[in-house]
Structure 1
Amino acid sequence: MTVVNGYKQNDNEEKINILNLEELEERAKQIIPTGGFGYIVGGSENNWTLKANRKAFTHKQIVPRALSNIENPSLDTNVFGIPLKTPIMMAPTAAQGLAHSQGEKDTAKGVAAVGGLMAQSTYSSVSISDTAAAGNGAPQFFQLYMSKDWDFNYSLLDEAKKAGVKGIILTVDATVDGYREDDIKNNFQFPIPMANLTKFSEGDGKGKGIAEIYAAAAQKIGPDDVKKIADYTDLPVIVKGIESPEDALYAIGAGAAGVYVSNHGGRQLNGGPASFDVLEDVAKAVNGRVPIIFDSGVRRGSDAFKALASGADLVAMGRPVIYGLALGGAEGVQAVFEHLGDELKTTMQLAGTKTIADVKKTQLLSINY
């Protein structure tokens, strides 16, 4: 165990047994300190949208297909010109040092081990370069929480380019912080410095509250910012936080190379729609012009299948990976991706789909319970 500013971080590096991804939450709760766990698990207000993210997957059904004459489905895919061994990627998730002493470094190792795509957050516990190095050449994206200070933005983008990231994810749904009651109840302050913020903060960067961090974030983000980042980096910019067809088209019109359908895991606008419920309409508007990433609520291989069949090109996970990280470090992360991949392959076999391209052509039944 490692202790930083009184906060206890797990050091375990071991394979973990997984029955299903949902049961990992309770196991991780026994390891992660209360304040850190509350920050990771919580949504906004009364968690209505967070809960809706899970329920939404019941709104569509997969029709089993027999006599399909296939075996050994493949998870291989190619998105943004990047060959991947799985369509499941790591969502950009802040402050992973709350779960494990190695934080994003271990996550990068675990994602690389399965041939997946890692996305690292501006609010990482580990620097951009150290996270990239831990991935040992595996593809990574950098997610930018845009600041009011463009010197800060340019500095992060410069470091990301130098580290060899393949794309920039611009998060646009967090111009203010969602009202997260767990953090208020726990009087939560980040106990572990965020590596990308320390060089722009006074002192050592520790002890910052969520409100203080968001106060420095840009509250005004528009199409011009997408173009500005794309022109500056000469990298694909993926706009994250899209929940309407109109915003998807605005993003593409501004030069976005990808659209990321997400409601921030239910952590921002409570009362908003589940991400899965809007995915198909967004995908129809995009009409294949750019790739689509999807997250929020994915816990089963069948969830990932339904997202791919509804228009996603990549399906991202956040919380379950962090729970795996807490329980087993890099090997725990790897185990989470392997388990979801195995579930997805089982679903593909039973649905008569050999490849991810086949999954994307699958017609789902729409059922409202």
Structure 2
Amino acid sequence: MSDQLQPGRRMQNLIYRAGLYGRRPRVPVNADALHTAAAAAMSSRARGYIDGSAGRETTAEANRSAFDRWQLVPRMATPVTTRRIGVELLGLQLPSPFLLAPIGVAEMVHPRADLATAEAAARTGTPMTVSTQASVPMEEIAAEMSAAPWFYQLYWGSSDEVAFSMVRRAEAAGASAIVLTLDTFMLGWRTRDLDNGFLPFAHGMGIGQYTSDPEFSKLVEARVRADAGQTDTADAQRPTAAAVRALLGMSRRYPGRLRENLRSPYPRAAVETFLETFSRTDLGWSEVARLREITDLPIVVKGIQHPEDAREAQRLGVDALWVSNHGGRQLDGAAASLNSLVDVREAVGDELPLIFDSGVRTASDAIKALALGASVVGIGRPYLYGLALDGSAGVQSVLDYFAAELDISLGLMGVTDVDQLGAEHLHAGRPVGSAPVR
């Protein structure tokens, strides 16, 4: 392959030629500029939810700072005319070592968030991890994925029946794997959301998987029947404008006609049922074993940070681990995800695939994770920033930037295949630069 046909050169040529006509990228290439532009396009509540992390946000800061500890070490005089950036994961041949990490409530930045993201994933062949907290049913998202693979990310709440139903739906809709998330059995102490007094789910956002689920609908029906005839003291109070807006939001997002939903108890009952059943504080390894019993799909366990947890998951026969601290959104003061990656790879050996996320903002970050043992790297907030700025095209722009920078960086390092990356390509030094929380 000519260097002109490599993704890096193609992207450079595209942007520079457009510049001759005075056109600049609609979606900024620079990671900090991307964040700044996207933040300006969001509401204050959306910024708080998307950019916010737990507590004083020290985990999010640690995630970024950890990358600065490592520097890339290039080799010279190595022919790199052709570079290969594709990888294999769970039997799937991927065009790059990137996938889209699950992000819930993306509707806060774009009305067609999940569908627009799926369209971009399909165009680039990038696997999308569909969130349990998506705003539309997984079946609709899957229909936009074309031949591109997608994974279903499962939050196992207090209802086993709902969890099992979602797994069955994912199987029927063509998911390539189930990603069981262990680190969010209850919400972290998210101070920005608390200061805003804002929980999107309480407004009916991000519960499209639930309101489309037959088992969840049974729980809602039972709640409506139980509440029938009871006096709700809250309803007796004079409604505030905020309460009216919340009810309108619930009714708009619930399946059916808005006018009928406004008079119906079901939208509010669905929100209350979700809030009641989301947490699962007794979630344990037995659920991982049960998941193995009920599905033949590959199982990925997400949220692994401790080596012993990695070994236990490996003993239970999972197909891959996802090293992540949820982007710093769950536990303040936790270890940087990149540091956990090193420990987990040492614990499980070379054979078990490791997906990695948390703190990744550029392909340079991803290279460091790949060199330290990651098999594939999840992109999270950056693609949401692209979505906020330019919808589906914005997501694709971010994915294209990552692939282009990866291709160019590998060449500059003297690497012709992403699978060649290893610890010998890194130098561990003192942290350099700044790592603002994003």
In structure 2, distance between residues paired with 1:30 and 1:46: 22
Q: Give the corresponding residue for 1:5.
A: none
Aligned letter for 2:341? L
The residue identity in structure 2 corresponding to 1:255 is: G
Provide Cα deviations, 1:249-278, integer angstroms capped at 9, x if missing partner.
Answer: 011111211110000000011101110112
Matched, 1:314 2:376: yes
Q: Distance in 2 between matches of 1:90 and 1:103?
A: 13
Q: How many Å apart are 1:59 and its aligned residue? A: 1.1
d(CA) in 2 for partners of 1:120, 1:107:
10
Match of 1:112 in 2: 122
Contact 2:159–2:277 (CA<8 Å) still a contact in 1? no
Equivalent residues in 2 for 1:84-163, closer than 5 Å = 84-163=94-173
What percentage of residue pairs aligned between the two structures are identical?
Answer: 35
Runs of 5+ unmatched residues, structure 2: 1-24, 221-265, 432-438
2:356 aligned partner: 294
Cα deviation 1:75-118 (Å, max 9, x = unaligned) = 11111100110111100111111111111111111122122111
Deviates more, 1:200-209 or 1:53-62: 200-209
Tell me which residue corresponds to 2:300: 238
* 1:216, distance to aligned residue in structure 2 (A): 2.7
Question: Is residue 329 of structure 1 aligned with residue 416 of structure 2?
Answer: no
Classify the secondary structure of the residue corresponding to 2:54. coil
When structure 1 is superposed on structure 2, of 31-40 and 113-122 the one drifting more is: 31-40
Q: Which residue of 1 aligns with 2:244?
A: none
Summarize the alignment of residues 238-317 of structure 1 with structure 2, pairs less than 5 Å apart.
238-317=300-379
1:20 counterpart (4, 27, 30): 30
SS at match of 1:365: strand
Partner of 2:232: none
1:54 and 2:54 matched: no
- Structure 1 residue 70: Cα displacement: 1.3
Supply the AA of the counterpart residue of 1:344. L
Tell me, in whole angstroms, the C-alpha distance in 2 between the residues paired with 1:61 and 1:299.
Answer: 15
Query: Structure 1 residue 364 and structure 2 residue 433: aligned?
Result: no
Contact preservation (8 Å) 2:186, 2:278: no
Q: Note the residue ranges of structure 1 that are not aligned, 5 or more in a row.
A: 1-14
Give the greater-gyration-radius structure (CA): 2
Q: Aligned partners of 2:128 and 2:330: how far apart in 1? A: 22
Equivalent residue, structure 2, for 1:3 = none
Contact 1:75 1:86 in 2 (8 A): yes
Pairwise CA distance, 1:368: 3.0
The question of whether the paired residues in 1 share the 8 Å contact of 2:71 and 2:428 is answered with yes
Aligned residue in 1 for 2:46 = 36
RMSD: 1.9
C-alpha separation in 1, matches of 2:330 and 2:138:
25
Are the counterparts in 1 of residues 300 and 318 from structure 2 also a CA contact under 8 Å?
Answer: yes
Change (3 A) 1:138 1:58: same
* Contact kept in structure 2, 1:28 and 1:323, CA below 8 Å: yes
Task: Find out whether 1:80 has 2:90 as its counterpart.
Answer: yes
In structure 2, give the amino acid aligned to 1:248: A
**Structure 1 356/108 Cα, relative in aligned 2: closer, same or farther at 3 Å?**
same
Normalising by structure 1, report the TM-score.
0.91
1:353 aligns with 2:411: no
Distance 1:193 1:142, change over 3 A: closer
Asked if 2 retains the 8 angstrom alpha-carbon contact of 1:262 and 1:275, the reply is: yes
Change (3 A) 1:208 1:30: farther
Question: In the TM superposition, what is the alpha-carbon distance from 1:22 to its structure 2 partner?
Answer: 2.6
Structure 1 residue 340, shift from structure 2 partner: 1.3
1:19–1:354 Cα change, 3 Å: same
Q: Which residue of 2 aligns with 1:174?
A: 184
Asked if the contact 1:22–1:320 (Cα under 8 Å) also holds between the matched residues in 2, the reply is no
Give the structure 2 partner of residue 6 of structure 1: none
SS at match of 1:23: helix
Give the number of aligned pairs: 354
SS at match of 2:119: helix
**Residue type matched to 2:122 in 1?**
A
Displacement of 1:134: 1.0
Offset, 1:313: 0.5
Where is the helix percentage greater, Structure 1 or Structure 2?
A: 2
Distance in structure 2 (CA, Å) of the matches to 1:358 and 1:142: 29
Is residue 197 of structure 1 aligned with residue 210 of structure 2? Answer: yes
The one-letter code matched in structure 2 to 1:198 is T
